[in-house]
Every structure is written in structure tokens, then in C-alpha cells.
Structure 1
């Protein structure tokens, strides 16, 4: 399983979350504590928003702990909204195109989880994309394809509904092929203005997600993380499974996340 952090709030340096904390994302790349695998060494990436509409984007296949360029960039880049990800691959080779976050236009997206039977589902899921989005696919991961499906289902206008429709479509296609759908989906995405996160699974094992405020920053500065950066239990709140999180100028909001499929498709 991968690890990631997403941040929206007062402008801060990426190093404040990516490299500096005791249990920073760099530390988690070698010794994650709430993942199936302690090591997440199959590449990393960051996407950050600044003066332009589209995000800055840097990815590589090196383990995060061994890339001095990442440390230097994190020390110099300040942003009010960014995503950072370290990868432990479950689908797709270790290539730059398969490293998160993925970017399309002003949108950025990253994911921790898995989609079972992907080798059976990939072709029918790709067929749902229009020509432009199909051509935009550069890698071979389930994560990138889920991102493009969300764009196909209207992510630009209705993020929550689009993600619910995309996940529901995957479940229905799996059922149509006689497959038992297993989706574990904890994701973060942004259009440069708002930050959205999802924690969902078709079984009882949704990948972890926590929210917390940044110490020493404005009260409306929030970070969403796969696992906390420290042992301050008062700072971090676990996001329940089956949730959609929005971080906007109005603050943080947590709503139910319900893919548009029959309730029988969701394990209880």
C-alpha cells in the first residue's frame, strides 16, 4: 500500500510535511506503520499549485528516501495546496508514468488502494473513456484509469458525484463479468482551489485516512494523511470509511460516500 499527504491552507513549504516531521512522508517510505508493507520504494511524486492554473509536477522512480532533488525542492517550494505520494506498487510497472500524483489540466489525483481483477476489467473500463481522455492515459495503473473515469463522469463540475459514479461503474462492470468486486480506494484530488479526499472500500478494510490541522499555521490549514506524522492524538482525527472529504474556504466537511450501485454489491 502507498502513503500520501495532501494539504490546503496557508502557504507553507513542502518540507513542513514531506521531509521535516518525525514521521514524515520520507520516513514513511522506509518504515510505514499503518500499511501492509513498511517500505514504499516504488517511486514518488508531488503536485503543487502556485501562480498558474495547472499544477507543478515532479515524479521519479527512485525511492523517496534516496532522492536529494526531492529534499531540495521541498525546502524551496512553498504552496497553499499540494499533494505528495510515495508508491508501493500493486498494479503497473515502476515507471515515471505510473508514479502518483497524476495530472490532467488543472486537476491532480493520487490514490492508495487496489482494484481486484484489474487485468480482466481494464479493457472494458477503458472503453468508457472518450477519445480525448483515452489518449491522455500515459501509464498502466488502475489508479490513473480511475482518475480518468472520474473526469469522464463529470469531475470538473461535480467531484463527489463523479467519483461515486466512477466507482459504481467499476463495481457494475465487475458484476457483469461475474467477478466479485474488491475495491479499496483512499484518494486525494484537487482542482487548485479545493481539496477532496475519499475513504472507501467494498469490504471492511478501507485504507487509512486522517485529518489534522497544521501546528503554527492558520486555523483553516488542514492536512489529510495516510498516517499521522506524530503521536499527538489530539491533533489527528480518523476519517470514517465510506466518507467524502471537502476542504474549502469554508473549512472541512465530511459527507457519506455512496457509489451508485445496488447495496448488495457492498460488503457489510
Structure 2
């Protein structure tokens, strides 16, 4: 499978999460503790919202950088992470589930101001692919560049209204895939943790048809962490709006990480964040 993280809060250099923590995302690319595979070396990607692109009507289109090699040995990624600062970014390291190792198959995927990244799989994808492809809105079809189930899931969610209602679109996407799998006799079709962003909000989903989903964690509030660890300098530098979502914890700081419940999704936004139950919607 894969590993990913998503950050929202005080603008920071990407290297603060990609490289510096004891169990950073780059460390996870070689030594994953909770993934299906220990090594995630089939490509990587980062997507971020530059402050200079933010205008009066929103955050502007995000920037994306992707590579097909292992993240741990990519010098360009290291240079970029050392220089780029952003208040909202996502990062992904890939372990292919069968599709080609190529740049168009690396996450995150972008459409307009939206970013999407996924850990998991559509089981029986080769059998279901035609029916799923034909359900994508004709106006979106030319935007599909790669061959992964992850990118197709993104375009199905866009078809089902992702630009207006992110949770509802993801629930309809799940329901459609499960209904299609039922018609083909494919059991336990979907395994997913997904991150979606529009530059202002960040959504994270944890779900599987078998109700035994891949790991996903969210960071505790900065206020609570400051009380637990008053001498930690990083916690003094970020705002109380800061939140990190990860496939597996970036370190062993007590009280820092909380598991996302099964079949649920969280929304990170200005003000109060939320955590809700996810309800797939069948067509």
C-alpha cells in the first residue's frame, strides 16, 4: 500500500514533517511500521498551496511535485522541502498495488484547486475498471492521465459532486464502487484512507468494505500538547489551529496521536474541527 500525511496550520517548511521527525515520512518510505509493506519506494509526491497564489477569492491552484524513484534518495525533493513553506500541504509515498511505476500514477492528484491522495486499493480493479470508467462524467474523462484505481476514485468523486460537497461525494463514490463490485461478485472491494483539500479545508477519510481499514491518526490539539510538553519548542511556534493527519505517527511524543475511528472522516478548518461517521450512499 502507501503512506501519507497532510498538514494544516502555521506555515512551515515541508522538511519539518518530511525529514526532521524521528519517524518522518521519508523514514517511513524505508521503515514503515504499520503499512502492508515495510518499503514504499514506487514513487512519491507532494502538493502544497503557496501563500503567494492566494487571492481575494481563495487559495489558488496548488503546486505539485512528483517523482517515480524512492523518496529517500531524491535530492530534488530534499532541496524543495528545505525551501518551500506552506500553511497547507499533503505528501505521499507509494507502494504500487500492481499498476505501473510512472509519474502520472504518483499521488497527489490535482483538479483545479483540489488535491487528492489515497492509501489502499480497489480489489478486483481489472474486472471492475470498465464499469467504473464509464461512470466518470464525460467532461472529466480527459483529465485522467494514469492507470491507478486511486485516480479513478478521485474522478468518480468529482463526478458525484466533490467540488460542492466533499463528504457526500466520497460517500457516493464508495457506494457506487461497492454496488458495482456486488454486481460482479467481488467481495471486500474497497480499502481506503483518503485526504482531500481545497486549500482552505482538509478532509481525511478512513473506510473499508470489510470494516478493517488501514491505519490513520490525527494530532491532538496544540493547546493540549503544550500542557503535556511545555518544554517542546516546536509547540510554541505553531498556532492552535495547527493539525497533522498521518498514516502512522511521526514520533513517540506521548499524547500526540489519536486513531481515526473506523468508517469515519474528519474535517480540519478554521475554528472547530469535526469528526463524523461515514455512511456510504448506494446509487
Normalising TM by the smaller chain, what interval?
Answer: over 0.9
Does the Cα contact within 8 Å between 2:107 and 2:118 map onto a contact in 1?
yes
Q: 1:34 — aligned with what?
A: 34
SS in structure 1 at match of 2:140: helix
SS in structure 1 at match of 2:273: strand
Runs of 4 or more, structure 1, over 6 Å off, are none
Deviation per residue, 1:197-241 (Å, 9 max, x gap): 100011132011000156331111000000001112301111111
2:243 pairs with 1:222: yes
User: Take 1:152 and 1:91, find their aligned partners in 2: how far apart are those partners?
Assistant: 25
2:70 pairs with 1:63: yes
SS in structure 2 at match of 1:4: strand
Shift of residue 100, structure 1, vs aligned partner = 0.4
Shift of residue 89, structure 1, vs aligned partner = 0.7
* TM superposition score normalised by structure 1: 0.95
SS in structure 1 at match of 2:89: strand
Does the Cα contact within 8 Å between 1:164 and 1:260 map onto a contact in 2?
yes
User: Take 1:233 and 1:199, find their aligned partners in 2: how far apart are those partners?
Assistant: 23
Q: 1:266 — aligned with what?
A: none
Q: 2:56 — aligned with what?
A: none
Q: 1:170 — aligned with what?
A: 177
Deviation per residue, 1:42-68 (Å, 9 max, x gap): 000000001321101000001000001
Residues 126-135 or 33-42, more deviating: 126-135
Deviation per residue, 1:48-104 (Å, 9 max, x gap): 001321101000001000001111101100000000000001141000000000011
2:122 pairs with 1:115: yes
User: Take 2:81 and 2:219, find their aligned partners in 1: how far apart are those partners?
Assistant: 20
Q: 2:159 — aligned with what?
A: 152
SS in structure 2 at match of 1:224: strand
SS in structure 2 at match of 1:132: coil
Indicate which of 230, 235, 246 corresponds to 2:267: 246
Shift of residue 257, structure 1, vs aligned partner = 0.6
User: Take 1:181 and 1:35, find their aligned partners in 2: how far apart are those partners?
Assistant: 19
SS in structure 1 at match of 2:218: strand
SS in structure 1 at match of 2:6: strand
Shift of residue 251, structure 1, vs aligned partner = 3.3
2:49 pairs with 1:49: yes
User: Take 1:224 and 1:12, find their aligned partners in 2: how far apart are those partners?
Assistant: 15
Does the Cα contact within 8 Å between 1:8 and 1:247 map onto a contact in 2?
yes
Name the CA shift for 1:143/1:23 in 2 (closer, same or farther; >3 Å).
same
User: Take 2:273 and 2:210, find their aligned partners in 1: how far apart are those partners?
Assistant: 26
Shift of residue 182, structure 1, vs aligned partner = 2.1
Q: Which runs of 5+ in 1 are unaligned?
A: 263-268
Residues 212-221 or 93-102, more deviating: 212-221
User: Take 2:166 and 2:211, find their aligned partners in 1: how far apart are those partners?
Assistant: 24
SS in structure 1 at match of 2:139: helix
2:280 pairs with 1:256: no
Equivalenced residues, count: 262
User: Take 1:132 and 1:181, find their aligned partners in 2: how far apart are those partners?
Assistant: 30
Q: Which runs of 5+ in 2 are unaligned?
A: 54-59, 223-234
Shift of residue 178, structure 1, vs aligned partner = 2.5
